[in-house]
Structure 1
Amino acid sequence: MKFVVPADRLATLHARRDLKMARSAHAYVRGNTELFYRWLAEEGGERIVPEGPDVWICGDCHLGNLGPIANGDGRVEIQIRDLDQAVIGNPAHDLIRLGLSLATAARGSDLPGVVTARMMEEMVEGYEDAFADPDERKKTAGWEPEIVRVVRRRALGRKWRHLAKERLDDVEPKIPLGRRFWPLTEAETTGLRDIVTHRPVSSMILSLDSKDEERAPKMVDAAYWMKGCSSLGLMRYAAIVALEGQRGRDHALVDIKEAVAPVAPIAPGAVMPTDPAERVLAAARALSPHLGDRMGTARLHEHSVFVRELMPQDLKIEVEQFSRGEALKAARYLALVVGKAHARQMEPEIRRSWAQTLQRGRPRNLNAPSWLWRSVVDLTGRHEKGYLDHCRVHALND
């Protein structure tokens, strides 16, 4: 059955994306990964950014893409939670993208500019600490800012009913069609059913933990999912999968998302999977093991997709307002998380060399590399102008 994305759906998605990005400068930054890298190059930033070791990077390392993630044993860690743009590239790009996100959040919280400068210092110190001790079980517990502690506490106490109520507006295994969830075409329904019931995919769904080949999972319900910001316009679906057992029926909520070519710069000579979904999976296993262990890949007709079970503990870090103290602690802690994801991939000698590179080029009045500060400042200005122009075009008459 030939698959065609309905034209009216695409038009609505693009309109929603434009309006969503007009909500705040921070939302605009989150939804503009392609412009981020274009503007970084245009500002001459790429000439001053040091070449780090070739490792898997997030590629879109903003605040909303970090948060608590559960593994199969129920252990929760703060890790990178979105790998759509992940590539083998320059780790400095993740630092700049995180710095821009933090700086924009600070501006939205009416914090003075000196706080942004201090955040860059805290970022670098947290990132460097990760290279001294890349074991993620150490050094993090006492450093968590309140926004992280709150979201971690919420994650640890969550069950299926919380996930269903939050995502589906009900605890019953039914996806409510409406603003967020849209009906499927016949071709989509057939394709999704084949994906989520295929044994290599269904076997990685932890909530349906069964080694009994006779207990075949089945798709209870599915819908198109209007979600995210930068990914709006790509295919994305939510599906409820069920498995009958001795104690009744178990349910899992599954996210099926289209994978496409990244816009993040790829290191010269880097060898990565050519299939976009396989690239995302490889990156998840390197950067966020809790997430990588719960993912699979498939094809929905001619489209490459990755599949992951949504766990109740998976949450994003939402920042509406920063206090000065929280801003500094968040900068240090989140950079530590990113640093550990990078450092785990490096041999000790390479870690030491990259840490020494970060030490160079620091002005006397700022304990952060000048390339990081200059890049964040230049990009903040470009994004602020771009955001205002975006609002004039897309939100003025809304």
Structure 2
Amino acid sequence: MSKYTEPQERQAVLTATRQLKMAQSTHAYVRGNTARFYQWLDASSVADAIPQGPAIWICGDCHLGNMGPLADSRGEVAMQIRDLDQTVIGNPAHDLVRLALSLQTAVRGSDLPGVVSAAMIEAMADAYEAAFLPEADDAPAAVPEPESTVVRVVRRRAMRRRWKHLARERIADARPTIPLGRKYWPITADERAALMALMEEPAVRHLAMTAFDSPEDSVLTIHDAAYWRKGCSSLGLVRYAVLVGIRDRDDENGDGRERLGLMDVKEAVASVAPHAPGVTMPDTPADRVVAGARALSPNLGERIAAGTMLGKSVFVRELMPQDLKIEVEQFSRKEAIASARYLAGVVGKAHARQMDVSTRAEWHATLADSHGPTLDAPRWLWRAVVELAALHEAGYLEHCRAYALGGKRAA
């Protein structure tokens, strides 16, 4: 029996893996079920109270796992939104609600009392609104890093990481190959040929040359490529890891040092998030992801390009060792509130940098005017989180029932 998944087996394995991941906790279910959030948005009377903010690029799936430290092309690290698969030009309030839901389910999974959820929502509203004040700016210092939280820990770990750490995780021994196994699966000859063609597309080739600070006429070699099993809600979409090497063209004998790097190739599909009426969206799903990344997450935006492969719209990004996601097993009370404040501020900055001064002021006024008499947070945000938390808890239990019964039948 093969130790890794063959191409003809991929879809069944990916579907089963996604179901298993979503059954692990309510928080995992929220992460893996973006569509349910927008179904609620279409049907709930509570959703009608969410204010319509200015039409800007939003994440569309702004949960805890889609945020983390990102390096720019020079290796400078900042906490930003790291996954833009669902990005659209839409209502910024949707990002705030989805992040609040994600944090709420993480807090409840840590067995913290409901009063922590209330304090967390207040902290989120305060930090998010502060991003639109006239004195706010786009500098990293505008969002003070919380002390002794999981956010601070992951950011510091990211800043210590170098290429050798990424290579140790992704590359087999000293040879430039990707080790096949649980995460990396073999690809077909057609896929390999398509990846080689993709890497020669002008936008993708330019990205690779820029990433390695190399002349445009440098020689690009694909040393290895593999199908990459990664993610949760995106499991089932085509994804590859590509190990490339770049050498100066005048190095005819190959005596010079070859620069190795990893590229992530991922299928882009239509977003489930609604875009604002009357706006013109990019022509392809990959172009949409690239445009959203450049607007929301500058560090990622300069390291991503759109292309096509085997008739699919794909985007390509350079993998950096500092790129990590926030993974939380347990929150303490202090960590939950501090992390919520910080991450809401990061999202607020991503939104605010797309607005002029007057638009920021108008959006700030709209948010500030909706605070309640007993909770220092917008009433609509609290009501939305309460209803969404109940909806997703029920959906999670139904998912677990269906998953458990399915497993018994399969057995």
TM-score, normalized by the shorter chain, greater than 0.5: yes
Q: Could you say which TM-score interval applies, normalised by the shorter chain?
A: over 0.9
C-alpha contact 1:145 1:330 (8 A) present in aligned 2? no
- 2:92 maps to which residue? 91
CA contact (8 A) 2:268 2:313 kept: yes
1:180 Cα deviation (Å)?
A: 1.1
Aligned to 2:59: 58
Larger mean CA deviation between 49-58 and 68-77 belongs to: 68-77
Consecutive unaligned residues in structure 2, runs of 5 or more? 1-5, 249-254
Deviations 1:132-188 (CA, angstroms, capped at 9, x unpaired): 213233333444552122111111111112112234465642111111111111111
TM-score (norm. length: structure 2):
0.92
Residue 123 of structure 1 pairs with residue 121 of structure 2: no
The alignment status of 1:320 with 2:324, answered yes or no, reads no
Who is 1:250 aligned against? 259
2:311 to 302, 310, 331: 302
Decide whether the 8 Å contact of 1:164 with 1:172 is kept in 2. Answer: no
Q: Which residue of 2 aligns with 1:163?
A: 166
Residue 23 of structure 1 and its aligned partner are, at CA, apart by: 1.1
In the alignment, structure 1 residue 386 sits paired with structure 2 residue 390? no
Structure 2 matches for 1:1-398, cutoff 5 A?
8-132=9-133, 133-143=136-146, 146-168=149-171, 170=173, 172-205=175-208, 206-211=210-215, 213=217, 215-245=218-248, 247-395=256-404, 397=407
Structure 2 CA distance, aligned partners of 1:368 and 1:89? Answer: 22
Change (3 A) 1:142 1:87: closer
> Distance in 2 between the 1:232 and 1:142 partners?
32
- Helix, strand or coil at the partner of 2:292: helix
Shift, 1:354, TM fit: 0.5
TM-score by length of 1: 0.95
- Secondary structure (helix, strand or coil) at the match of 1:131 reads coil
| Alpha-carbon distance in 1 for matches of 2:361, 2:318 | 37
Q: Is the 8 A contact 1:197 1:218 kept in 2?
A: no
* Residues 353, 108 of structure 1: alpha-carbon distance in 2 compared, 3 angstrom cutoff: same
Gaps of 5+ in 1: none
How far apart are the structure 2 equivalents of 1:170 and 1:360? 59
Structure-2 change in CA distance of 1:360 and 1:313 (3 Å): same
Is the contact made by 1:224 and 1:238 (CA closer than 8 Å) also made in structure 2? Answer: yes
| Aligned residue-pair number | 393
Q: State the Cα deviation string for residues 304-349 of structure 1 (Å, max 9, x = none).
A: 0000000001000111110000100001000000000000001111
* Bigger Cα displacement from structure 2, 162-171 vs 174-183: 162-171
Residue 215 of structure 2 aligns with an amino acid whose one-letter code is K
Aligned-CA RMSD value: 1.7
Q: Deviations over 1:214-267 (max 9, x none)?
A: x31011000111100010111001000011356412111110000010000110
- Does the CA contact (< 8 Å) of 2:203 and 2:307 recur in 1? no
Evaluate the alpha carbon distance shift between residue 167 and residue 6 of structure 1 in structure 2; reply closer, same or farther with a 3 A threshold.
closer
Instruction: Indicate if the aligned counterparts of 1:136 and 1:340 stay in contact, CA closer than 8 A.
Output: no
Contact 1:182–1:223 at 8 Å: present in 2 too?
yes
- Sort the Cα spacing of 1:7 and 1:371 in 2 relative to 1 into closer, same or farther, 3 A: farther
Q: What amino acid does structure 2 have at the position aligned with 1:258?
A: E
Q: Do the aligned partners of 2:40 and 2:47 also contact (CA within 8 Å) in 1? A: no
* Inter-partner Cα distance in structure 2 for 1:342 and 1:145: 26
Shift of 1:112: 0.2
The secondary structure found in structure 2 opposite 1:227 is coil
Q: Which amino acid aligns with 1:26?
A: H
AA partner of residue 88 (structure 1):
I
CA shift in 2, pair 1:359/1:204, >3 Å:
same
* Matched AA of 2:11: L
Report the residue type matching 1:126 in the other structure: A
Tell me the equivalent position of 2:3.
none
Look up the equivalent residue of 1:147 and give its one-letter code. Answer: V
* Secondary structure of the corresponding residue to residue 229 of structure 1: coil
Q: Distance in 2 between matches of 1:182 and 1:319?
A: 28
Q: Deviations over 1:281-314 (max 9, x none)?
A: 0011100011010011110021000000000010
Provide the C-alpha distance between the structure 2 equivalents of 1:151 and 1:16, rounded to a whole number of angstroms.
Answer: 26
